[in-house]
Amino acid sequence: MAKLGKNAPNEQEGKETVEFFKDLDREALNTERFLEKYSKQLGIVFGVLVLGVLGFFAYKQFVVAPKNVEAVKSFLAAQKKQTEGKDKEALGGKSAANPGFVGTYNDYSGTKVGELSAYNAGLLKFKEGKFQEAYDLLDKFSSDNKTLVALKYGAMADAKSGLNQNDEALSLLDKASTASDDPYTTYYFTRKAGIVALGLKKNAEAKKYFSAIDEKYQDYDNGMSDSYIEMTKYLN
């Protein structure tokens, strides 16, 4: 058997290195051929991507930004009417000259101001006693502000109560009681949910709400939760 010389391992490593670089050359060549072959298609794809990015920024700058400005103007005009006690004009929605909150929502529903207009319009519809319309408008509103979301659910619950749909109202109040991190907001809607549950003779649920108040929100309740918990034992 032939003996391997002292330099055999180095020679072997050298061969492997050469093969490795040959492979790299082949891969590079394949890549070049691929790019050569599909350069036109790749150029089109790249162009589409660039146009997409440019289009997005143009849309934000020339469409969304002006739209937001117009939405704010419309909202502030409606809000001014409301502060003047002109609720019908603040509600609007009957003419382009006076869009009000309803018109602002219809025209700018894709903006945050548009959604806030729906919320305000919903409250005014509730004030008019048009509970289903109020509920539908309030349902259009969304926000990253958890307290505003809790207030939305609370107002929707009031609309459902106005429609004598108290089971749905209780469900919405339950959502309102857990939507916010603000302790007073949580207390307020937990207490309201408990009172509605009592009215529906759902004593176990009522006790759950008032017990939560007793444990966490005594500072706001002045001991009233104890009285309500006692009531759940006797109401049938």
Residue 200 to residue 216: CA distance in whole angstroms: 24
User: Using CA atoms, how far apart are residues 190 and 174, in angstroms rounded to an integer?
Assistant: 7
With cut-offs at 50, 70 and 90, classify the pLDDT of residue 107: confident
Per the model's pLDDT, the better-predicted residue between 8 and 217 turns out to be: 217
pLDDT of residue 53: 42
Residue 67 above 90 pLDDT? no
User: Would you state the pLDDT for residue 43?
Assistant: 44
Which of residues 172 and 11 earns the better pLDDT score? 172
**Residue 212 to residues 33, 194, 206, 226, Cα–Cα distance (Å):** 71, 10, 10, 11
User: Which residue is it, tokens 């058997």?
Assistant: 1
Mean pLDDT of the chain: 76
pTM (predicted TM-score): 0.69
Give the pLDDT of residue 62: 37
How many CB atoms are located within 10 Å of the residue 133 CB?
17
Provide the token pair at 36: 């050569």
Does the pLDDT value for residue 137 go beyond 60? yes
Mean pLDDT across the stretch 26-53? 47
In order of 45, 159, 169, 195, 198, the CA distances from 201 in angstroms are 65, 20, 14, 10, 5
pLDDT band at 56 (very low <50, low <70, confident <90, very high): very low
